[in-house]
């Protein structure tokens, strides 16, 4: 329990910081407005006449591409810019406890945003009889996707003192993770590469695994993929922070 207590303390402090500033509110408003617009207008929800949220989850990889790095870009960059990183590590807390605490706080903000989209679920249930198991799978996949993007952003935030640089690096890396399995890109490889190579490239993509969970199929391989991305990026974050600390 003594090892978990610092994580809880840091997570509570960071979470309070998010909601004490406009960051969380701005993110929530933008995400709700944009996701609602894309779901009902761009995806033509009412015209399709289908009781599902495919059009809602379809846009999450692209919406998160901008919004998640915006939430996490200051996670460590701001600590470095203000010179409080060294102060943080002089406290009775290990680097991994600080990393996990900060990550969980930011992930919780993203979770709150997703919970606030419940009116869309109520709407689709009112208009038809959707498979709520598939909808739950979509939300699980969305949280894992957001966590992966956030872990990437934590890593880029540890690399630099500039939040803007952190944001741009995170967007580029997350975009690569999308495009690796995006059908237009894999179709290009299919024209000249063997199928095993195309499948290997696609396996590194968040899209391949997210779409699988979105369909309501909670495969352990997909969960392991997202857990591996999160774990690897947080590990790299720790390596980077230790290097700064030693330097």
Q: Does pLDDT of 194 surpass 90?
A: no
- Model confidence band, residue 2 (pLDDT cutoffs 50, 70, 90): low
The whole domain housing 208 covers 4-246
Q: What is the pLDDT of residues 34-67, one digit of tens each?
A: 888 888 887 777 677 676 788 889 899 999 999 9
Three-state SS at 50: coil
Give the 3-state secondary structure percentages of the chain, helix then strand then coil, rounded to 5. Answer: 80, 0, 20
Mean pLDDT of the chain: 86
Q: Report the range of poorest mean pLDDT among 22-31, 162-171, 190-199, 227-236.
A: 190-199
67 sits in which H/E element:
helix 60-72
Phi-psi sector, 49: left (phi>0), alpha (psi -120 to 50), beta: left
Q: What is the pLDDT of residues 58-103, one digit of tens each?
A: 899 999 999 999 999 988 888 877 777 777 767 778 888 899 999 9
Report the alpha-carbon distance of residue 9 to residue 226 in Å, rounded.
26
CA end-to-end distance (rounded Å), the chain? 32
Report the alpha-carbon distance of residue 108 to residue 206 in Å, rounded.
20
- Into how many domains does the chain fold? 1
């Amino acid at each position: 329990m003594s090892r978990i207590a610092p994580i809880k303390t840091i997570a509570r402090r960071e979470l309070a910081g998010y909601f004490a500033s406009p960051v969380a509110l701005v993110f929530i408003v933008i995400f709700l407005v944009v996701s609602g617009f894309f779901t009902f207008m761009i995806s033509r929800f009412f015209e399709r006449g289908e009781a599902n949220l495919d059009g809602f989850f379809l846009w999450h990889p692209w919406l998160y591409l901008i919004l998640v790095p915006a939430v996490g870009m200051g996670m460590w960059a701001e600590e470095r810019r203000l010179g409080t990183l060294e102060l943080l590590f002089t406290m009775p807390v290990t680097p991994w406890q600080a990393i996990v605490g900060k990550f969980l706080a930011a992930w919780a903000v993203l979770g709150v945003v997703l919970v606030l989209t419940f009116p869309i679920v109520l709407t689709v249930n009112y208009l038809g009889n959707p498979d709520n198991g598939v909808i739950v799978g979509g939300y699980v996949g969305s949280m894992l996707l957001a966590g992966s993007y956030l872990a990437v952003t934590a890593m880029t935030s540890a690399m630099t003192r500039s939040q803007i640089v952190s944001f741009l690096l995170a967007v580029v890396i997350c975009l690569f993770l999308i495009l690796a399995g995006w059908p237009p890109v894999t179709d290009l490889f299919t024209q000249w590469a063997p199928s095993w190579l195309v499948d290997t490239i696609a396996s590194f993509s968040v899209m391949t695994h997210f779409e699988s969970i979105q369909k309501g199929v909670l495969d352990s391989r997909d969960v392991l993929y997202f857990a591996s991305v999160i774990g690897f990026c947080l590990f790299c974050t720790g390596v980077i922070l230790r290097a700064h600390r030693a330097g």
